[in-house]
A and B are shown apart, each in its own frame.
Chain A
Amino acid sequence: MMKKFISFLLAAVMLLSLAACSTQTEKDNKETSAAESPSSLEEGTGDAGAVKKISVAHWMLTSSFPSAQAYMENVEAIFKDSYPDVEIEWNPIPSESGKYHDLLKAQLATNSAPDVFFHQNAIVQFGKADYLTDLSDQEWAGRILESTVTDVVYEGKLLGIPVDVAGWGVFYNQEVFDTYDLSVPTTFDELLAVCGTLKENGVTPFNMGFKDSWTQDGPWLSMSSFIYGMDKNFPQELYDGTKQINSEEFTGMFEAFEELVSNGYISNSIMSTTYDQAAQEFGEGQVAMQINGPWCVQQIYDQCGVDVGYFNIPDREGNVYMTTITNSTVSLNSKFEDKEMGFAMLKALTDESSLQILLKDSGYCGLKDIEIEQTLAGGKAYGDALVNDKAAMQTNVWIPASAGQKLTQLTTLICSGKPFDAAYLEAADDAYQKDKDLLNMQ
């Protein structure tokens, strides 16, 4: 009898805890969405006629991003100058789920998408489906950073504003470099020498946290000096069919990466280290360098109090290219009828005062007349490289994602100890030929 009673009690406790968890989750969601909406919708305003609204969606306007609240307040203040009676609906797409882009695509297909939305790497898809308003005759047309043009212009029409640009390169722990009297390498062989010195002194030269698979693209994205250094017109020639991915340019790049791995300059636990673990090791000085993007500068400073330096990986001849891609583009839904109101919202979202709040110490603007304030040395070094190094398109702008996956697989293959295998470059070529229509190239 006692056994049955205790068993029943345990089962009841289990059920109650299940119910409590789901209630708490619902409560958290409600609190989060309430906190994120400085201008929430009011039911029953009492006035005759519907309240005018405009909805704005961005995956970064959540409580996880410290600048989100201040950014939304600033945008609202600017927008209300022109449209004081219009309500702004923030975050109609629940961005916490990590499925922002999937939800956005589904909503666009069913004509229920937000009026103004941020997006990433989708200009061809959205442009083809005619979801975006043409901004070619608006004020932003003459202000677009050259390296971002492919991300925002489709078939000659400006369909979005590049808000945030970033690329991949090498961030180094300044303290470690100073300890061993190392300077920024100007050729790939100098980089190998720097790695050699670090390894002799018990410091791991590179670790990037490949357990989080999004970081695995970093090496082939950051070593494009090997491609542009040999042929700066490679992307167009590849598209025209006069060049292939299985070429001396890409082979040279991967052989250089293989050299880093075979000499033990890349951590041997890279495949099982997470991004945060790698950042921690980097901040603590156990690892000297990371292939990463400018988003890491603030994180490492907050986590470990360490400021970082930056350089782009040079090729063997000393050619250095800075490649970027637009991290986030903002566009106006083509179905939104009041275009003037839409343009006013875009102006508020891309106003210099708003972008200084959103991107300070973590991003760089795609509008060439706006320079974002960087207080950390790493941010300033990245900004200098953006201005001083030769600019080019990031590789994943001019090869389709299916081909990019083969390059990532080759990267992790080499990291696992296997030798470079040209079959992966051939597979990338096959994928390229199949999917090149998805590219924004002519």
Chain B
Amino acid sequence: MSSRRANYWKRILFMLPSLLLIAIFVAYPFIQGVIYSFTDWDGISVTKNVGFENYINLFRDISFKKALSNTIFFTAFLVVIMNPLALGMATILNKKIIGKNIFRTLIYIPTTISLIVVSNIWTLILTFNGFLNKLLELVGWGSYAVDWLGSYDMTPMVIVLIIVWQGLGNSMVFYLAALQGVAPELHEAARIDGATPWKKFRYITLPLIMTTVTVVLFLQISSMLKIFDIPYLMTAGGPGDATMTITMLIYDQAFRFNTAGYATTTGVVLMIFIIFVSILQTKLTGSKEVDY
């Protein structure tokens, strides 16, 4: 009995340093942030409690509504475009083809490039006098040449495609690992029973890799709801507010508008939104997981 107790306290002791770090660097700032969300703090002066005024103002704020709708747009389109592409790529590269290892690595390379360089390179391609428009003129499609980063309607989609380009390799690697865990005997048995490739994919492969799909979707959704870098570097939220995201709004509120209290309010609301969406998504995809 005493050795059990001793073991128990040993485990607590081993966990203590990590718990302490989490308490100081995660829990305390988080609680402090939630407290500030109820104040009119400007970042340096003494705070004054304003109750729920920040939250009421936030839900009336047109900038917040637009940033939220942009963020949801980016997330939805990324999920819809990236996942079939990554899964398709992983399925092809899981088969016996020449140079599959080379292709796997080549497709992964864009993930290793720094985001500042990604934004600079794509700016070179997409500016009005950039490579893409010059190519369109060369093939006689000059009338389709636009300022790809200066069009209110086109630019959000362009940003999504750049993020897909940069992140495809990462998702593909997850799916590849999952596909390699599917027993080939199951496919063999289905083939003997006369199943078409699509039916094999739908009824065997997809359910078996659903755990990975849950994880990949969770990572994509949670990171896209916090997207900041590529829109900030490439368009600074413009033109107009076409590519303004919630985290860019938080940045502006905290550092440009000197309304740090209001910024933490937006941050708290974003956090609740991400938790809600993540729970919904994991429940949805988690219910479809199987184990043969």
Q: Do A and B come from one complex?
A: yes
Distance from B172 Cβ to chain A, minimum over Cβ atoms (Å): 23
Bound form: Cα–Cα A410–B152 in Å = 11
Contact present for A216 and B238 (CB under 8 Å): yes
Select from chain A the residue with minimum beta-carbon distance to B42: A125
Q: Which of A213, A272, A413 has the most CB of B within 10 A?
A: A272
Q: Does B43 contact A (CB under 8 A)?
A: yes
Q: Does B46 contact A (CB under 8 A)?
A: yes
Q: Given the complex, which residues of B lie within 8 Å of A384, measured CB to CB?
A: none
Q: Given the complex, which residues of B lie within 8 Å of A412, measured CB to CB?
A: 238-240
Select from chain A the residue with minimum beta-carbon distance to B262: A434
Q: Does B130 contact A (CB under 8 A)?
A: yes
Q: Please choose the segment from B58-66, B177-185, B194-202 that sits at the chain A interface, where 4 or more of its residues have CB less than 8 A away.
A: B58-66
Contact present for B44 and A423 (CB under 8 Å): no
Contact present for A272 and B238 (CB under 8 Å): no
CB within 8 A of B63: which of A273, A401, A406?
Answer: A406
CB within 8 A of A435: which of B129, B152, B259?
Answer: B259
Given A402-B257, A405-B256, A434-B57, A272 contacting B150 (CB threshold 8 A): yes
CB within 8 A of B127: which of A126, A269, A413?
Answer: A269
CB within 8 A of B238: which of A269, A271, A424?
Answer: A271
Bound form: Cα–Cα A412–B127 in Å = 16
Distance from B75 Cβ to chain A, minimum over Cβ atoms (Å): 22
Contact present for B152 and A423 (CB under 8 Å): no
Distance from B167 Cβ to chain A, minimum over Cβ atoms (Å): 23
Bound form: Cα–Cα A141–B239 in Å = 43
Distance from B147 Cβ to chain A, minimum over Cβ atoms (Å): 5
Q: Does B123 contact A (CB under 8 A)?
A: yes
Bound form: Cα–Cα A72–B259 in Å = 35
Contact present for B239 and A415 (CB under 8 Å): yes
Q: Given the complex, which residues of B lie within 8 Å of A131, measured CB to CB?
A: 44
Distance from B278 Cβ to chain A, minimum over Cβ atoms (Å): 30
Distance from B271 Cβ to chain A, minimum over Cβ atoms (Å): 22
Q: Which of A254-283 contact B (CB under 8 A)?
A: 268-273
CB within 8 A of A427: which of B43, B62, B150, B252?
Answer: B62
Bound form: Cα–Cα A386–B39 in Å = 41
Bound form: Cα–Cα A210–B58 in Å = 29
Q: Does A417 contact B (CB under 8 A)?
A: yes
Q: Which of A120-173 contact B (CB under 8 A)?
A: 125-126, 128-129, 131
Select from chain A the residue with minimum beta-carbon distance to B62: A427
Contact present for A413 and B152 (CB under 8 Å): yes
Distance from B64 Cβ to chain A, minimum over Cβ atoms (Å): 11
Q: Does B236 contact A (CB under 8 A)?
A: yes
CB within 8 A of B240: which of A126, A418, A434?
Answer: A418
Distance from B70 Cβ to chain A, minimum over Cβ atoms (Å): 12
Q: Which of A58-99 contact B (CB under 8 A)?
A: none
Contact present for A438 and B240 (CB under 8 Å): no
Q: Given the complex, which residues of B lie within 8 Å of A423, measured CB to CB?
A: 62
Bound form: Cα–Cα A5–B126 in Å = 41
Q: Does A102 contact B (CB under 8 A)?
A: yes
Given A105-B44, A409-B240, A416-B239, A269 contacting B150 (CB threshold 8 A): yes
CB within 8 A of A125: which of B44, B127, B256?
Answer: B44
CB within 8 A of A418: which of B42, B128, B152, B256?
Answer: B152
Q: Does A302 contact B (CB under 8 A)?
A: no
Bound form: Cα–Cα A131–B63 in Å = 32
Given A269-B129, A271-B147, A402-B259, A417 contacting B152 (CB threshold 8 A): yes
| Secondary structure type dominating chain A contacts | helix
Q: How many chain-B residues does the 8 Å CB contact rule pick out?
A: 38
Q: Given the complex, which residues of A lie within 8 Å of B238, measured CB to CB?
A: 210, 213, 216, 271, 409, 412, 416
Contact present for B152 and A416 (CB under 8 Å): yes
Bound form: Cα–Cα A269–B127 in Å = 7
Given A401-B258, A402-B257, A413 contacting B239 (CB threshold 8 A): yes
Select from chain A the residue with minimum beta-carbon distance to B235: A271
Q: Which of B43, B129, B148, B155 has the most CB of A within 10 A?
A: B43
Q: Given the complex, which residues of B lie within 8 Å of A410, measured CB to CB?
A: 240
Bound form: Cα–Cα A80–B45 in Å = 35
Q: Does B87 contact A (CB under 8 A)?
A: no
Distance from B26 Cβ to chain A, minimum over Cβ atoms (Å): 20
Q: Which of B247-262 contact A (CB under 8 A)?
A: 252-253, 255-259
Select from chain A the residue with minimum beta-carbon distance to B148: A272
Contact present for A271 and B123 (CB under 8 Å): no
Q: Which of B230-279 contact A (CB under 8 A)?
A: 236-242, 244, 252-253, 255-259
Contact present for A409 and B241 (CB under 8 Å): yes
Distance from B45 Cβ to chain A, minimum over Cβ atoms (Å): 4
Q: Given the complex, which residues of B lie within 8 Å of A210, measured CB to CB?
A: 150, 238
Q: Does A380 contact B (CB under 8 A)?
A: no
Given A216-B238, A405-B252, A125 contacting B62 (CB threshold 8 A): no
Contact present for B258 and A271 (CB under 8 Å): no
Given A128-B45, A409-B241, A213 contacting B236 (CB threshold 8 A): yes
Q: Given the complex, which residues of B lie within 8 Å of A424, measured CB to CB?
A: 240
Contact present for A270 and B150 (CB under 8 Å): yes
Contact present for A272 and B126 (CB under 8 Å): yes
Q: Does A109 contact B (CB under 8 A)?
A: yes
Q: Given the complex, which residues of B lie within 8 Å of A435, measured CB to CB?
A: 257, 259
Q: Which of A222-244 contact B (CB under 8 A)?
A: none
Contact present for B152 and A211 (CB under 8 Å): no
Q: Does B151 contact A (CB under 8 A)?
A: yes
Q: Given the complex, which residues of A lie within 8 Å of B130, measured CB to CB?
A: 272
Can you list 11 A-B pairs with a CB-CB distance of less than 8 A? A109-B44, A216-B236, A216-B238, A272-B127, A272-B129, A405-B256, A406-B63, A415-B150, A415-B239, A416-B238, A430-B62
CB-based closest 8 A-B pairs: A271-B150, A413-B240, A269-B128, A272-B127, A416-B239, A213-B236, A412-B239, A129-B45
Given A272-B148, A409-B240, A416-B238, 14 extra CB contacts under 8 A: A109-B43, A125-B44, A125-B45, A129-B45, A210-B150, A211-B127, A269-B150, A272-B147, A409-B237, A412-B239, A416-B152, A427-B63, A430-B62, A438-B258
